[in-house]
Amino acid sequence: MLTLYLGNKNYSSWSLRGWFVAKLSGAPFREVGVQLVGRGRNPANRGFSPSGFVPALHDGDTVVWDSLAIAEYLAERHPGMWPADPVARAWARSICAEMHSSFPALRNEMTMCVRERLDVRPWSPELAADIARVEEIWTESRRRHGRGGAYLCGAPSIADAFYAPVAFRFQTYRVAPAGEAGTYLSALLAHPFMREWERDAVAETIVIEADEPRVVYRDKLAGRA
């Protein structure tokens, strides 16, 4: 059986991606929870993750770390995780890679905190640009490849796993896309995998202040009071 090492579900966006693709594969796996400590590499994690980060997947003697590598490793062994059509598959890989390497303002200014709900507008210009790009990706993906299902390329795929943390961020910070992007956001949040992760995240009691929106935005929120 596979073993997947994960950080706190309320906060760990990268863990969510690894977990979602593991669920999508259909392969049985065992979860091992790992307490997040700060935002850098944790030397204590090196025993199961060469990078010191989560997620990390163990398949016997094979160790795979980084959510994109985990996705590709599982997709090589379990069919249907990428779109079957080669054009849609190329698109899905491209938007996953863009999410994997870009959107710094979205990551830094909208920490993932699944249980929280608040509005911290006005957004910075950089954050507004990142949000607009996500909405563009969602709309264009649905227009080009969304026939046959409610997700980015029709049926659920790795592409949806990579935008799953964004969906929770949008829910937390009350980002409400219009049109096709908004319809997709609702569909993704309603997916059974997302419901399961959200249930577990909300049940957690550990608080990491560096990722708590009401701590990060304390001064802005106090100024409104």
SS3 (DSSP) at 175: coil
pLDDT confidence of residue 53: 96
Given strand 56-59, what is the order of strands in its sheet?
Answer: 29-33, 2-6, 56-59, 62-65
pLDDT confidence of residue 180: 98
HEC-encoded secondary structure of 51-93? CCCCCEEEECCEEEECHHHHHHHHHHHCCCCCCCCHHHHHHHH
Q: Are residues 83 and 145 in contact, defined by beta-carbon separation less than 8 angstroms?
A: yes
Q: Residue 98 — very low, low, confident or very high, per pLDDT cuts 50/70/90?
A: very high
CA dist 108 and 103 (Å) reads: 9
Q: Are residues 206 and 33 in contact, defined by beta-carbon separation less than 8 angstroms?
A: no
Domain ranges of the chain: 2-77, 86-203
pLDDT confidence of residue 41: 85
CA dist 223 and 209 (Å) reads: 20
86-203 is classed CATH 3.30.2420? no
Residue 97's H or E segment, with its range, is helix 86-101
Fold of 2-77: Glutaredoxin (3.40.30)
Each residue's pLDDT tens digit, 175-195 = 999 999 999 999 999 999 999
pTM above 0.95, yes or no: yes
